[in-house]
Amino acid sequence: MNLKSFLSSPRFKGNAEKTQQAIVLNASLWSIIALLVLMIIGNYLGGQTPLLVNTLNFSFVAICFGIRFILHRGWLKTVTGILIFIGTIYITFLIITLGTIRTPATMAYVMAVIFTGLQFGKKGVFLATTLISCIIGGLILAEQNSLLAKPDFTVGITQWISYTLQLGFTGILTLLALNITQRNLQRAEQEIERRKRVEKTLKTLSYAIDHNPASIIITGPNGEIQEVNPKFEQLTGYTIDEVRGKNLRLLQSGTHSKEFYKNLWGTITSGKEWFGEFHNKKKNGELYWEKASISPVLDENKRISHFVAVKEDITEQKRVSEEQKETNRQLQSQLIKITELQSTLHKQAMRDPLTGLYNRRYMDEALEKEFARAKREKYLVTLILLDLDYLKKFNDSGGHATGDIALRRLAGLLATSTRTEDIVCRFGGDEFIVILPNTTGENAPKRAEKWRNQIEVFTLLHRKDQALRITFSAGIATYPTHGQTIEEILKRADIALYRAKLNGRDRSELFNQEEM
């Protein structure tokens, strides 16, 4: 322990008023000890002070050190009481020992009154003044009636030192009292001003909370409800008296998972703010949606003391949003149906309903694209124009249904016997056209001959004594060998087809340059 810690007053953390009282008591004790020590020195220098006086001085010094020990234990009231009581007795016995009240010791009563006033205020001053007045009155009567022992020493340096020290000590205590009073008044003014600001702020916050369109809930660290605003009562149907002290689980609808609440509490208990949506239940059992933010409030020790939840009713928004989603789903479904229908219509517009092959419209588009690419990339395109032989014969023998079967059989053969890049179309009533990219005029007849051989296995029986066999005639022309335009190639394929029919049908013919 160093000198500074030995002389210093005890400090009481979190209790400024008690610490201040301890500082005053500690300063008073050291002042009294210093005064007594100086008086002992003065008495020693004077040499005529009675032994009992010095004994009292030494005893009181020892008592003051004992009182300091009690002071450091925190027993302030006990210290004050002992100090005043022992001090008053000490002064009285000192006067009796000296034999007259006309001594410096009498002034010590003034210090006792001042010290009592510092500790106990007006009531302490009144009681101390009354008591000491009675004691002085008794001592005066005793001295007048020669009941006190006559002093056997002369006034000298001892008395001068005592008067001087007591005057100085009285002045110091007075200044200390004024300083403490001044500081307390200043502190009181600051506290009053601070409280006014706090009250104004609280009034503003209270108004904002009470008139807030959002529902506000203040809970303890375990989720027990402490305060709610009128909007909460209006929304949930619960009054503050019904929910105060109850856990927020009161509002749970049972639609959220345990993991949802675990994540929520994990966020806010870690000191972070949580944002999300609740599906909660009102007092009448009705379910509603809330958008919420929950924030932790920390105390001076950085521990969570409260949670503040600000919630907005979004039930109507949710309803409108769900209706919009349902409307969007219906529109999406209708759009898909429309798209499918458009695709079907597009296919139907591009397909021949009887054979399923591409129709004349698609053929015109395909020819333009294929010829444009052939010009750009400089490759051959061959067209095979086919005509079903004797369609009228099929219709006359078995009706139009038999003719339709023949057309479908030929169409099916062409569709399954061509390459992916080849395009097969129904050109007219009994005419078909096959577009063959990258195919020469020499290879095209071979492919046509292969189809002719394959179609021979198909026979249509409609009577026991008659069998109808499917055959076709084909005319072939190649771009750019036989022409530079679509019209020219089609015309020359048709010329070759006409020649195949003249030559007995059931055959294919390549356009002859001599026919140009």
Indicate which CATH number applies to the domain containing 272.
3.30.450.20
200 belongs to a structural domain: no
Domain count, the chain: 4
Please give the pLDDT value at position 161.
60
Pairing of strands 225-228, 459-463: unpaired
Domain boundary among 145, 168, 186: 186
Domain that holds residue 89: 3-186
What pLDDT digit, counting tens, does each position of 154-198 carry?
445 555 565 566 556 656 655 665 566 566 667 767 777 887 887
Residue 413 pLDDT greater than 80, yes or no = yes
199 belongs to a structural domain: no
Higher-confidence residue: 452 or 50? 452
Contacts of 369 (CB under 8 A, 6+ apart): none
- Residues 399, 427: one domain? yes
What pLDDT digit, counting tens, does each position of 348-398 carry?
788 888 998 999 989 999 999 999 999 999 999 999 999 988 887 777 777
144 belongs to a structural domain: yes
- Residues 504, 382: one domain? yes
Helices 76-98/108-144 angle, 10° precision = 40
Pairing of strands 508-510, 215-219: unpaired
422 belongs to a structural domain: yes
- Residues 258, 288: one domain? yes
Q: Which two tokens stand for residue 483?
A: 């022409």
- Burial of 303: CB neighbours in 10 Å, binned 0-12, 13-18, 19+: exposed
- Residues 285, 411: one domain? no
- Residues 72, 144: one domain? yes
The strand order across the sheet containing 215-219 reads: 225-228, 215-219, 304-313, 287-298, 274-281
Higher-confidence residue: 404 or 178? 404
- Burial of 480: CB neighbours in 10 Å, binned 0-12, 13-18, 19+: middle
- Residues 38, 166: one domain? yes
- Residues 431, 451: one domain? yes
Cα angle: 396, vertex 398, 400; to 5 degrees: 75
- Residues 161, 279: one domain? no
What pLDDT digit, counting tens, does each position of 112-148 carry?
777 777 667 778 788 888 888 888 888 888 877 777 7
Higher-confidence residue: 387 or 18? 387
DSSP secondary structure letter of residue 252: B
- Residues 75, 145: one domain? yes
Please give the pLDDT value at position 156.
53
Terminal alpha carbon distance of the chain: 131
203 belongs to a structural domain: no
- Residues 106, 29: one domain? yes
- Residues 103, 52: one domain? yes
Please give the pLDDT value at position 6.
64
Contacts of 214 (CB under 8 A, 6+ apart): 231, 310, 311, 312
Question: What percent of the chain is modeled with pLDDT above 70?
Answer: 84
196 belongs to a structural domain: no
Q: Which two tokens stand for residue 231?
A: 């909007």
C-alpha span between 435 and 4 (Å, rounded): 114
Please provide the size of the chain in residues: 516
